[in-house]
Structure 1
Amino acid sequence: MITAAPTRPGRPRTRGITMVIDPGLPTGAFTDVIDSHGELIDLVKFGWGTALVTRDLLAKLEVLRAAGIGFYFGGTLFEHYLWSGRLGEFVDLLRSHAVTHVEVSNGTIPLDQHDKAGYLRLLAGEFTVVSEVGFKQVERSDRLTPADWVAAIEEDLEAGATLVTCETRESGRVGMARADGSLRSDILEAILESVDPSRLLFEAPTKSLQVELVKALGAEVNLGNIATADVVGVETLRLGLRADTLMEMTAAAPARTPAAALAGRVRLVVAA
């Protein structure tokens, strides 16, 4: 039995959140992930508009409820209903599925930031709201300055958002990330000067973004858009159990004993 494995606080967590994205997994595979690794997952987002075409959505929601894991539908679904003039139907959908959270975004449709905050404020009267800042189109995102990001995040928090998601999409190459997949450090630094990182959920679908964010903010950084196949890998990054973060996340011994000094004290058993 392993007795020296590092640990983190269990759920419910307010820091070190892992949000997993479901792009439409088969129900059996989804259930297996929750059964096997549910203690490492805080939230599940049903990506973009997949909730409307997932045949076994209700079965998946029951799996999450039984595991005590929060869930919500992608912000694109909010935008879809708003753009088509059916926001009332969207609210009915949220109520009928007893969602634990709702995401409000303006990543695709031409919705002004202040108007987005108004819808957020309206929904926050009934639901726990996660907002999203950043656009899905590279050109629009590139026009956002660090000051724009800070102002939008602060406005969303003031309007009632519990968490603000920092956009990078499922590709990890837009929004707070550059086209090469690296983090826009100017934006991150500006945000952290003004906002408590526990109120931020950083989309980090790629290992490179996960590593950058864990190194920058530590094990308790909130990470989102994590693929189901990466749940365990992300936890090892948080705990320093992967080469990429081992030295940053693991306290070094005051002095390491040279291998030669261990002779006679460590017995190695070599299989024949």
Structure 2
Amino acid sequence: MGILNVTPDSFSDGGRYLDVEEALAHARAMWRCGADVIDVGGESTRPGAERVDAATETARVLPVIRELADEGLVLSVDTSRAEVAAAALEAGARVINDVSGGLADPGMARVAAESGVPFVLMHWRGHSRDMNALATYADVVAEVRAELTERVDAALAAGVRESAIVLDPGLGFAKRGEHDWELLRGLDSLLSLGFPVLVGASRKRFLGALLSDVDGMPRPPGGRGNATAAVSALAAAAGAWGVRVHEVGSSLDAVRVAAAWALPEGDGDG
């Protein structure tokens, strides 16, 4: 899943693809690199970000989704608003990726149910401005698993098909670095729920902290690509359904290596 942020303030690439033509060019480049889905978002969810109104979010994503859908690309809409999701689906999006897992807008599950599209439910405890204060856990893997189970139950009750649900542990959302690593190490616990799992580690703070320099300064987002690819390979080897990344080529290479490594003897290309 290639990330396309049509925002001025996303943590890694804010402002780079706010122009429609720039956004289209970047999406096409990710698609040519082998992305299966392009995830289009019009509202930043970085820690501390303020919300934009629905009209602004819709105006950012629709021209891009409409054009790319006409070209045959598979698109998801990264939004926590039901009205934005509904408009994006009408414009040609084929997946809803809700970072709030349906909590931010009670109408989201209805939109997902009526459309029948894949519905990504991410673990979430509050909007960006508040989420750092909500990163308190006794057992992060067990609590995230339990809270995602609640979101699954709510989606099913709203009529979402079980086969449409994808789970995301929400790395970096109401999580400190140690929580992110525990969730990655405990991925099998989430997979045991029986749903596909999407991992979104790309360029996130916990990787920057891991790669800090000798003075303790975190590696900037642009220098976290190799670490992201490593997470992609390990997530694939662990059984993840997908990875959501800024740099499609390097992660796809890493996932292919992981897949080849897992092949039974004699099934490789020699």
| Bin of the TM-score, shorter chain as denominator length | 0.5 to 0.7
Give the Cα separation in 2 of the matches to 1:33 and 1:91: 22
Instruction: Name which of 28, 34, 37 aligns with 1:35.
Output: 28
SS at match of 1:125: helix
SS at match of 2:39: strand
State, as a whole percentage, how many aligned pairs show the same letter: 11
Q: Go from structure 1 to structure 2 and tell me whether the alpha carbon gap of 1:28 and 1:142 turns closer, same or farther (over 3 Å shift).
A: same
Tell me the C-alpha RMSD between the 2 structures: 4.0
Q: Deviations over 1:97-156 (max 9, x none)?
A: 34323334438x9x59xxx7x645423321322221134523323337322222233343
Instruction: Name which of 136, 144, 147 aligns with 1:149.
Output: 144
Q: CA deviation at 1:205?
A: 1.0
Aligned to 2:94: 100
SS at match of 1:42: coil
Q: Which runs of 5+ in 1 are unaligned?
A: 1-17, 79-86, 254-272
TM-score (norm 1): 0.58
Q: Deviations over 1:1-22 (max 9, x none)?
A: xxxxxxxxxxxxxxxxx24232
Q: CA deviation at 1:164?
A: 1.9
Alignment of 1:94-173 (within 5 A): 94=88, 96-106=90-100, 111=103, 119-127=107-115, 128=117, 129-135=119-125, 136=128, 137-143=131-137, 145-158=140-153, 159=156, 160=160, 161-168=164-171, 173=172
TM-score (norm 2): 0.58
Computing the radius of gyration over CA atoms, which structure comes out larger, 1 or 2? 1
Q: CA deviation at 1:62?
A: 1.4
Q: Go from structure 1 to structure 2 and tell me whether the alpha carbon gap of 1:65 and 1:205 turns closer, same or farther (over 3 Å shift).
A: farther
- Count how many residue pairs are aligned between Structure 1 and Structure 2: 207
Give the Cα separation in 1 of the matches to 2:179 and 2:24: 34
Give the Cα separation in 2 of the matches to 1:139 and 1:66: 42
2:41, 2:79 within 8 Å by CA — same for their partners in 1? yes
Instruction: Name which of 246, 249, 252 aligns with 1:232.
Output: 249
1:27, 1:60 within 8 Å by CA — same for their partners in 2? no
Say which structure, 1 or 2, has more relative contact order (CA 8 Å, 6+ apart): 1
Amino acid of the structure 2 residue aligned with 1:29: E
SS at match of 1:195: coil
Give the Cα separation in 2 of the matches to 1:217 and 1:22: 24
SS at match of 1:45: strand
Deviates more, 1:121-130 or 1:208-217: 208-217
Q: Which runs of 5+ in 2 are unaligned?
A: 8-16, 45-55, 204-224
Q: Deviations over 1:231-259 (max 9, x none)?
A: 1111111122xxxx699569999xxxxxx
